[in-house]
A and B are shown apart, each in its own frame.
Chain A
Amino acid sequence: MSRIVSTTKKPTWIALAVALVIQTGLISIQARRRIDAGFVRVWVLDSLAPMEKLADRSTFGLSSVWDRYVALIGVHDENQRLKHQADDLQMQLQRNREDIVELQRLRTLLSLASSDRGKTVVARVIGRDPARSQTVTIDKGAAHGVKPDSAVITPAGVVGRVIHTSNFFAIVQLIVDSQSAVGVLLESTRRQGIVRGTGGRDLDLDYIDDDNDLKQGDAFLTSGLDRIYPKGLPVGVITTIGPRRGLLKTVQIRPSADLGRLEEVICIIEQTHVDVVDPGQGTSNP
């Protein structure tokens, strides 16, 4: 590459000073929160995310061509096996349908609220954070009703919450991000606590009423007390319980949702307000 040699040092210092002032100014107004600098993010996100989406669609298209036309070796045998499996599943589905009808009837009888989480929108994950913090970009934004603090989930469990939105895209902070915290309750004992992201693959238990009866494999659900995540969603399962650090044992939790393989997520854009007081809480505590 040809080198363009600058003749004087002065413009360099001016350029550096201007760039530093702009960047420091952006940081400073975010810290003081007097001026909303979000418009810069909205502009850049709206400009770059469509390209990210296009690239994602292209790679998805290429992989789908590969899957459909190239990688077909041994498909006949697999097809036979899957047909048998489909027959079995069809029968199981029929049984499940009957169970659902029965469940709905029982729910009506018991006057329980439906398990509807509120108004949701399905979004596709189109990119991961290029700056190494734990965020992903989804292809739904303010125009679809997504707003900051909207909960993002998969059928397996909680994924995170929306932290920035542009018109057609949003950035989701995963629950494993070091700045993330989720109000939880232990499924077995209904004790309430808080789990925090570590920036790695797992979550840390930050607080719980009583940690004496915790054991490996115990599942945590959302408590709904943080007013972000609806109550009762799977958060994670205890993988390791270590020695006490301060008042609490060190407890590591593996998220229920596979955050490394997110493809499509559900964004809860309007929650149905549920009573967050847990009926089992009073009875289980000694």
Chain B
Amino acid sequence: MTVYPLTRASTLGIIGRFALALVAVVVIQGILSFRFKVFGYFDLPLIFSVYYGFTLGNPVASIVIGSSLGLMQDSLSGAVLGANGLSKTLISFFAATAGSKFAVDQPVTRAFALFLFTIGDGLLVTILGLMVGPASGAIYSGALGGWALSAMFNTLLGLVLFGYHDRSGNAAT
């Protein structure tokens, strides 16, 4: 197959921009969670995994994005390495599959998906943490409330960010 230098350069440029955006998402999440405690309830990597899953139309790229975001998230936290990675991989895959089969442009659909994905993410990461992490007598009764709150916050922020991205995307094209 003939590879044209210009095409290769532009592909590398796109990949580079994506990589920078992913790093920025994780760093911004870390900084905002530190400065504003309420941001601990948001999960920007999850929102972006879902968004790219829905809109990119390329499941492989979505899986790579979700997987990378999750792994970076794990590395910057004390969580089990791979827990968020696994969860975000699955979420981005399901989001990409849903994006190719259903109409996910409607805010209601997106809100519903974000809510469910956040709950699923919390559940999976907690289970993996309990399976792999040190034994603990910690009380997880408050966890469901935390996930629900987080799911609501993610849904609201996700809708705003999705709307903004869609508008800026349409303006660019």
Interface of A toward B, CB cutoff 8 Å:
1-6, 11-12, 15-16, 19-20, 22-27, 30-31, 37, 40-41, 43-45, 48-49, 51-52, 55-56, 59, 125-133, 135-137, 163-164, 171, 173, 177-179, 181, 196-200, 204, 206, 260
Contacts and interface: CB of A to CB of B under 8 A. Distances in A.
Interface in B52-107: 55-61, 63-64, 66-67, 70-86, 89-90, 93, 96
Nearest to A207: B137
A27 B76 contact: no
Interface residues of B, number: 68
Interface string B12-36: 0000000000010011111101110
B131 interface: yes
13 contacts: A3-B57, A4-B61, A22-B85, A23-B82, A55-B31, A129-B33, A130-B45, A131-B76, A132-B40, A133-B129, A171-B77, A196-B137, A199-B138
B163 interface: no
A1 B165 contact: yes
Given A30-B80, A136-B34, A178 B138 contact: yes
B82 A27 contact: yes
B29 A130 contact: yes
Interface of B: 23, 26-31, 33-35, 37, 40-41, 43-45, 55-61, 63-64, 66-67, 70-86, 89-90, 93, 96, 125, 128-129, 131-134, 136-140, 142-143, 146, 150, 165-166, 169, 173
Contacts of A37: 81
Contacts of A198: 138-139, 142
Given A27-B128, A59-B35, A6 B58 contact: yes
A203 B140 CA distance: 13
A23 B76 contact: no
Which of A11, A22, A45, A131 has the most C-beta atoms of chain B within 10 angstroms of its own C-beta? Answer: A131
B81 A135 contact: no
A91 to B, nearest CB: 38
Given A48-B72, A59-B31, A129 B132 contact: no
A52 B27 contact: yes
Contacts of B66: 19
A27 B80 contact: yes
A45 to B, nearest CB: 6
A229 B143 CA distance: 28
B76 A129 contact: yes
Contacts of B166: 1
Given A6-B58, A16-B89, A125-B34, A44 B138 contact: no
Nearest to B136: A179
Contacts of B93: 12, 16
B63 A24 contact: no
Given A12-B60, A19-B63, A48-B27, A131 B82 contact: no
B72 to A, nearest CB: 6
Nearest to A63: B35
A55 B57 CA distance: 32
B146 A132 contact: yes
Given A127-B31, A132-B150, A198-B138, A12 B78 contact: no
Given A4-B57, A51-B23, A27 B86 contact: yes
A24 B73 contact: no
Given A3-B57, A55-B28, A23 B70 contact: yes
B31 A41 contact: no
Given A27-B81, A45-B76, A48-B27, A127 B33 contact: yes
Given A15-B60, A41-B81, A199-B142, 6 more contacts: A12-B93, A45-B76, A48-B72, A129-B79, A131-B43, A132-B43
Contacts of B85: 19, 22-23, 26
Nearest to B172: A1
Nearest to A5: B57
A130 B73 contact: yes
Closest 10 CB pairs of A and B: A3-B57, A178-B138, A44-B75, A26-B82, A127-B30, A128-B34, A135-B78, A1-B169, A129-B77, A128-B33
